[in-house]
Chain A
Amino acid sequence: MRKESGFSLKLGVFVTLGLVLFIATIYFVGKQKNIFGNTFHLNAKFKTVNGLKVGNNVRFSGINIGNVNEVELLTDTSVMVDLVIRKKYQEFIKSDARASIGSDGLMGDKVLTISPGTSDKTPVKNGDVILTKNAIEMEDVMLSAKTSVDNAGVITAQLAEFTTKMNTGNGALSKLISDEEFSNSLQNTLVNLQTASHEFALFTAKINSGGLSESLDTTMRNIQGATKGLNENMEAAKSNILLKGFFNKKKKADAKKAAELKKEEDKRKKQELKNAEDSIKNIKALVPVKKVTGGL
């Protein structure tokens, strides 16, 4: 009997431990999937869900807060996604929060991400339909990438054509590249140009250092001094004895000329006076005749 109770105890412990282990695993896995504990539902309407499946994670600020519970096609262009989210996160999801579908890594599962709304809005309620953002589809990206690739194709084709022309044609560029003579002459030109510019640089340096400008300045001052001297010479010549006669004669000639002008003027005045006297005489001669005839 003692032996029997010994083995039942061991068996009991064995069975109990096994069952506890099994139930604990079930419980924790279930907890992971939000089957137990407080949850609430949210709905989101998408045009396309990009392969989102039941059981995919729901993320909010990077934290897994729930799972996708159901994906249902409503109409031909809209899909309703039902989310189960832990109750304790409800207060953080505001009514203007937006759901979007992304990918967890390059090869990972799809993830439904809820981006937070503005903090002054009210929290969502159980069963609410939240706003959504349409996900960037891989096909769209591919399509735009294809356009770029096509353009790149055109560009490279033209570039190839241009290169061929340059290598085989006769234009300036092709000459530049393929004609040795031309390139030599161009090189010579460049060397000459280099020399010229070097000289010019030296010249400029000289000017800047003041040699030329100083001499120019001196020249100007000399010229100024010369004109001043000339002026003085003229004054001196006026008062010189030898030249006094010349200047006096010049003065006399001027005076004579003025006197002659005066004489002529007088003569003209006398003539006018005489003319006037003559005309008065004529008038006087006419007037007595009239008197006679009037008396008759």
Chain B
Amino acid sequence: MVISLKNGFTEAGNATLFVARFFRELVKPPYELKEFIRQCYIMGYKSLPLVAITGFIMGLVLTIQSRPTLAEFGAESWLPGMVALSLIREIAPVITALICAGKISSGIGAELGSMKVTEQIDAMEVSGINPYKYLVVTRVLATTLMVPLLVVFADGIGILGGFAGINIHGDVTMYRYFSQVLSSLEFLDIIPATIKTFFFGFFIGLIGCYKGFTAASGTESVGKAANSAVVTASLAIFIIDMMAVQLTDLFF
């Protein structure tokens, strides 16, 4: 009991130090721009199909599922607005972040974990390259910036999915649908939801890197690192989401 508590606190302390080091290395030159762009490509562009399919399905399903309840009130005309609101405020950010946690965080955890296990990180340090800067900063920065973009795509494609879902039963023109969507949106729906996706991205990258960077020696720890990266990142996403929503609710 005491030992597990002690281990927990040690873990928290290590993580805090890891975060502090990230910010220190972030502002210090030299900048690994090329590696950063490569990571952006891998994390952003390569995740797009997955996010697009998820977003489309979420929009479609949400529309079909909400229709009966709204139809009961004769409020089917609110369907586009409702779907767009729930997508933009909550569903697209969280679903996209979870997808990214599964794809990116586990990828980073496995990659860095195997580098750590095969002592490549130590080799980099020996050869004069700052492994933290090259491996961690670029990846965390890339996820921080790419996840919001992926969420924007998920929003757009999800709303298109909603359009498809509405046209299963009704007949709404594209123009009318989008004007209904836009009229129901406010900045208060878009801005806080966008801000929280930066945090999602930051923690997805950070947790993946931390789990990989602190992997113990031995091949099985690579799998452990990947697994615990996904679990921790997913949990973190929900916790951040709760905090973000409560803060938004408090101030606006």
Contacts and interface: CB of A to CB of B under 8 A. Distances in A.
B93 interface: no
A55 B188 CA distance: 12
* Chain B interface mostly: helix
A245 interface: no
Contacts of B187: 26, 29-30, 33
Interface of B: 37-38, 40-41, 44-45, 48, 149-150, 152-153, 155-156, 182-183, 185-187, 190, 194
Nearest to A64: B183
Nearest to A26: B190
Contact of A29 (B38, B40, B149, B182): B182
B149 A14 contact: yes
A222 B79 CA distance: 102
A25 B194 CA distance: 12
A19 B183 CA distance: 21
Contact of B44 (A15, A21, A29, A33): A15
A11 B44 contact: yes
Contacts of A11: 37, 40-41, 44-45
A8 B37 contact: yes
B48 A22 contact: no
B190 A29 contact: yes
Contacts of B185: 25, 29, 32
A17 B48 CA distance: 12
Interface in A23-49: 25-26, 28-30, 32-33
Interface in A169-227: none
Contacts of B194: 22
Contacts of A17: 153
A127 interface: no
Contacts of B190: 25-26, 29
Contacts of A14: 44-45, 48, 149
A135 B40 CA distance: 57
B45 A10 contact: yes
Contacts of A4: 38
- Residue in A11, A17, A30, A33 whose Cβ sees the most chain B Cβ within 10 Å: A11
B149 A15 contact: yes
Nearest to A57: B183
Contact of B149 (A10, A19, A28, A32): A19
A32 B182 contact: yes
A25 B87 CA distance: 14
A22 B197 CA distance: 13
Contacts of A29: 182, 185-187, 190
Contacts of B183: 32
A17 B37 CA distance: 16
A53 B155 CA distance: 28
A126 to B, nearest CB: 25
Nearest to B191: A26
B38 A7 contact: yes
B84 to A, nearest CB: 10
A18 interface: yes
Nearest to B149: A18
A166 to B, nearest CB: 48
B74 to A, nearest CB: 11
- In order of increasing CB-CB distance, the 9 nearest A-B pairs are A18-B149, A11-B41, A7-B41, A22-B152, A14-B45, A29-B185, A18-B152, A28-B182, A21-B156
Given A15-B44, A25-B155, 20 more contacts: A4-B38, A7-B38, A7-B41, A7-B45, A8-B37, A10-B41, A10-B45, A11-B40, A11-B41, A11-B44, A11-B45, A14-B45, A14-B48, A19-B149, A21-B152, A21-B156, A22-B194, A30-B187, A32-B183, A55-B186
A101 B190 CA distance: 29
Nearest to A31: B182
- Residue in A18, A21, A33 whose Cβ sees the most chain B Cβ within 10 Å: A18
A291 to B, nearest CB: 156
A4 B35 CA distance: 11
A111 to B, nearest CB: 14
- Residue in B149, B155, B182, B194 whose Cβ sees the most chain A Cβ within 10 Å: B149
A55 B252 CA distance: 14
Contacts of A32: 182-183, 185
A38 B108 CA distance: 50
